[in-house]
Chains A and B, each alone.
Chain A
């Protein structure tokens, strides 16, 4: 036993050093683009994938009908060269370009119909994009028409989400993919999609080894402009510091997850870092449906707690000031957010409201995933919340949990406060209402009420949402502003910080940008 004591004693220090395990990949001057990232891939099948890594992988390999321009607002043609929308936003007709899949076969309306039906019928994570789709028909080989059950001015934006990338139906079907009603049970193609791709994009999947490497090869018969790199390698590097080191030493060309604090400590003159606003945000959520909380977490108490938080301090402590405050659970810059003012701290009012509600010595428990997302350490963020709550006499006990335990306990209503994050799937505010709105049956309504809908449902929001979807432009934005205000008054979701994003790359790389739909458009990147 004893001979190992000293060595074991040092492991405590080495634990921290274990972070340095960058994969040895040579990058500079080659025809290969190497990207450092901690990959969160859940699947590489467009209809099943749902992750930040998936967003840029799918964008490079599969193509959507429309896509988001570099201004992150305007939709531009992709596989569809033009589209028509009927007056009440229920029928959408797309006219396809003469594009081809990687195997040379043409992209036809039947592929689009097949892809959308499969996305809907698989009932997987991104299937919500097809909610309300009642029919998809191929008018002719190059024209496809979709009908939705209720006005949806956001449908066009939805089909810019990378998960709606068009799949080569013949190839996928030959490998077990099914688009029909039985898809959810009968489709057995997921393993095939982990090793192969069937898209029309500028890249093809070369290989994927989980927790190690995602390798893309150029699609040599690409119908559009040929991408600059013949190969793209995404190499798994877990944390920001290791990614920064790999970037400084030239092992990688781009590091995707460097936080602003780490970016400041990069001293190499060969590296460019740009700090840009992101559309990601972290928030705390209240769960009045949790055990014994129905009479405690009333709207007044929630509003009081929302006033207790020091939002400016939160920005400083979580991201060193490299971020933005956010009013409602709709990211800054999305439709309708211009008219919303972020909350400000008001300790006296918060205390008064708590006293009026008879909750002067409130004790709450917060369960949250013990993770570091978008450069924000949940533990740091929640300790700040804990301190702010303490200032108004509310004791908050923190329970950092593994993701699996967090999910279980969330569903069981073990604790009334949680913290989590959200990133957009496309440009449009409707997705936020569809997720955070206190509308019967919506995800966060279920989460917060745990079956006791009367605790949280806000009937006004359903009407406003319908109004927003039935209009476009200014009218739609106005409705989203009203919903945003209503969600702020609900005080179920409190956005704490929208962290800035660091684009960090070697000086010889150009074309790196952040896209609201697609994360990092690989095909636009080149070496000087």
Chain B
């Protein structure tokens, strides 16, 4: 919740935690479910090595066994435990989503803020770049970049940052355009503050809400796109138990439905969770604003 409190931390640090508590209280039940699911996956990522589950890379049983007491989600074509692989898959997907969203937010917001605040030549160049990038379908652009860089999750992550930053640039620019006209900003400018200082101290702290909501929702989308890239062979390389590559292994063996079921449900849970949480956060912020 550190991110959240930072986001709310405008000037009054003492009201910060009061505001946070009020915000959590305002979240609808679905958002709390979403938060719980995300929390589960984050805890899983951090503690998976201590879990009493099978080695995700080792052959632990006969191949293609349906779910049973020993192997809750069955075994895959190499006799590996699908349940364990699904849990271990989070170690790839969740951190990647965090990194990609963080980079996309950082790059997109910085450029968007510059474009919105300084306007003119900066605005023209940055926003045209945004237009060019978003004019490609995201999956196609990500595929093209990933194909050019070669397979691997690092390259897939770079591809996804390239796809994602423009959204944040637009969001931040729109927000900055609005905030910079406010009186306190004019007052700061009139008081002789430098332009960069005005942007960082007086404008940006008021611009984070839409970005935060969007970032929450995008988290799930990044998990999904990363899985899609792995599905088509441009993301994770074997034998890593990445969800997309696991689904791809299962897709050619559809009668052995359990191979794709675990990772499919995992992706579904993350995407739903972030959708719920994002929706809830937006409603909560909206009500606060209104």
| Chain A residues proximal to chain B, CB less than 8 Å | 1-2, 5-6, 8-13, 15-16, 19, 239-241, 261-262, 265, 316-317, 320, 370, 372, 377, 379-380, 382-384, 386-387, 397-402, 405
Contacts and interface: CB of A to CB of B under 8 A. Distances in A.
Contact of B78 (A15, A239, A383, A401): A383
Contact of B251 (A16, A370, A384): A16
Contact of A316 (B57, B63, B228, B243): B63
Q: Specify which of B57, B214, B238 lies most central, judged by the most chain A CB atoms within 10 Å of its CB.
A: B238
Given A1-B217, A261-B253, 16 more contacts: A1-B167, A1-B214, A2-B217, A2-B278, A2-B282, A13-B268, A15-B228, A15-B251, A16-B250, A261-B64, A261-B255, A262-B255, A377-B252, A397-B237, A400-B151, A405-B150
B238 A382 contact: yes
A412 to B, nearest CB: 13
Nearest to A9: B271
A8 B252 contact: no
Nearest to A390: B57
Given A317-B77, A370-B233, A400-B233, A16 B264 contact: yes
B267 interface: yes
Interface stretch (B109-117, B119-127, B193-201, B219-227): B219-227
A491 to B, nearest CB: 24
Contacts of B253: 241, 261-262
Contact of A12 (B64, B256, B267): B267
Interface string B252-265: 11111000100010
A13 B64 contact: no
Interface of B: 57, 59, 63-64, 77-79, 147, 150-151, 167, 214, 217, 220-221, 224, 227-228, 231, 233, 237-239, 243-245, 247, 249-256, 260, 264, 267-268, 271-272, 275, 278-279, 282
What is the predominant secondary structure among interface residues of chain A facing chain B? helix
B41 to A, nearest CB: 15
A239 B252 contact: yes
A19 B238 contact: no
A17 to B, nearest CB: 8
Given A6-B272, A265-B255, A317-B77, A11 B237 contact: no
Given A239-B252, A383-B78, A12 B275 contact: no
A421 B59 CA distance: 25
B59 A387 contact: yes
Nearest to B152: A399
Q: Specify which of B237, B249, B260, B272 lies most central, judged by the most chain A CB atoms within 10 Å of its CB.
A: B237
Contacts of B220: 5, 9
A386 B238 CA distance: 9
Given A317-B77, A380-B77, A387-B59, A15 B237 contact: no
Contacts of A384: 78
Given A5-B275, A387-B59, A399-B151, A16 B247 contact: yes
Contact of B147 (A16, A320, A383, A402): A402
A15 B267 CA distance: 12
Contact of B221 (A5, A241, A399): A5
Contacts of B239: 383, 386-387, 398
A8 B59 CA distance: 34
A60 B284 CA distance: 70
A270 B226 CA distance: 42
A350 B254 CA distance: 38
A15 B260 CA distance: 10
Contacts of B249: 377, 379-380
Contacts of A241: 252-255
A8 B254 CA distance: 21
Contacts of A240: 252
A401 B151 contact: yes
Contacts of A370: 233
Given A377-B249, A400-B233, A16 B260 contact: yes
A379 B259 CA distance: 15
Given A12-B228, A377-B77, A402 B233 contact: yes
Nearest to A397: B237
B275 A9 contact: yes
Nearest to B213: A2
A464 to B, nearest CB: 38
Nearest to B251: A16
Contacts of B264: 12-13, 16
A379 B282 CA distance: 43
B60 to A, nearest CB: 12
Nearest to A378: B238
Nearest to A380: B77
A402 B260 CA distance: 23
Given A241-B252, A317-B63, A377-B252, A15 B217 contact: no
B286 to A, nearest CB: 13
